[in-house]
Structure 1
Amino acid sequence: MDARRPSRLAEALLAPGPTTDYPARMRRFGQLVGTWAVKGSRLDEATGEWSAHEFTWIVDYILDGRAVQDVELVPSTTSPTGFVTRATTIRVYDPEAGAWRVTSFAPTIGEYCHLIATSYRSGVRQDGTRTDGKPIRWNFTSIADDSYAWEAWVSHDEGGTWTLIGRNEGTRLS
């Protein structure tokens, strides 16, 4: 296969833009379509220590414009591409439910999450569960043309209280 040419899977998966069936709903996550430089921090729940990390976040329309998928890329000196894909999230708008169904996969750390996303203040709130069954909440607290802020929360008492375990701040590259 010619490495310069997209694979048939990529051609079939990627969409040139949002579906015209419900364009306003597609804007919720569609406004994130592009490439982002991200600075993040994560809490190690076992030690209570925070660690910083940087990555590239690429977001695009898929499935005939009915969904949005992202990939999180981290630099790698051992990969021939110069990066490793650490995680991907697929967000599909469900017109019957009037909400977004979100599934996130991070196989390198064994994390698989399922959430429902709805509008929240000036951003998006995503509520669901992570692999260990604990409730999680991922909030895009602000989304602008050239930046976004995101927070990850977990509850160890079925939603009684929430602990912040992650933050990302993205700056649009394209």
Structure 2
Amino acid sequence: MTTAAGSPFTEALVSEDATSEYPARMRRFGQLVGSWAARGHRLDEATGEWHDREFTWIVAFILDGRAVQDIEVVETEQGKRETVATGVRVYDPLAGAWRVSFFSPKTGEYCHLIATSYRGGIRQDGTQTDERPIRWNFSEITADSYVWDGWVSNDGGSNWELTEHVEATRIT
């Protein structure tokens, strides 16, 4: 069985556009649908060192346009493409917010967040695998770029430490 582009699985999962049921709400993450060249820095909390990183971020509507899924693709040292993470963002009309789940099996990261509008961007608050509070903010969103910052709290949300900063430009 194959799940390549054009397969029954892909055709059933990926949607051409957002649902028409709540178009204004779908724009929150729908504006990010496409492919992005991302560059940033991530803090290694164990060593205190910052590491540069580059990846391609690909975002699409899924589930008949009721959700948005993204994948993070990196180039390996051998020059191959590897998908290392995915996020699924589903709008919950009863809560009036987006439910976000992020998975990176290779690094053991499994995060669950709630996303809302914040200062012209998107704020996602939740917990990471070790149960510490996290905050992921999209800001400076334009048609062709965005900034994303990841924060973690070691004291239940009173203070926040920046652990990642990413700037991206649209490819498609």
Mapped to 1, the partners of 2:2 and 2:156 lie a distance apart of 50
- Residues 21 and 53 (structure 1), Cα distance of their counterparts in 2 relative to 1, 3 Å cut: same
Deviations 1:131-169 (CA, angstroms, capped at 9, x unpaired): 000000000022100000000000000001000000111
- After TM superposition, give the deviation of residue 53 of structure 1 in Å: 0.6
1:27 match: 27
Aligned pairs for 1:1-174 (under 5 A) are 5-76=5-76, 78=78, 82-174=80-172
- After TM superposition, give the deviation of residue 76 of structure 1 in Å: 2.3
Q: Percent identity?
A: 61
- Residues 63 and 121 (structure 1), Cα distance of their counterparts in 2 relative to 1, 3 Å cut: same
3-state DSSP of counterpart to 1:143: coil
Q: Is the 8 A contact 2:4 2:10 kept in 1?
A: no
- After TM superposition, give the deviation of residue 6 of structure 1 in Å: 2.0
| Matched pairs, number | 172
Q: Is the 8 A contact 1:56 1:73 kept in 2?
A: yes
- After TM superposition, give the deviation of residue 40 of structure 1 in Å: 1.3
TM-score by length of 1: 0.95
- Residues 145 and 22 (structure 1), Cα distance of their counterparts in 2 relative to 1, 3 Å cut: same
- Residues 167 and 24 (structure 1), Cα distance of their counterparts in 2 relative to 1, 3 Å cut: same
- Residues 26 and 84 (structure 1), Cα distance of their counterparts in 2 relative to 1, 3 Å cut: same
Q: CA RMSD in A?
A: 1.5
TM-score by length of 2: 0.96
Q: Mark the runs of 5 or more structure 2 residues left unpaired by the alignment.
A: none
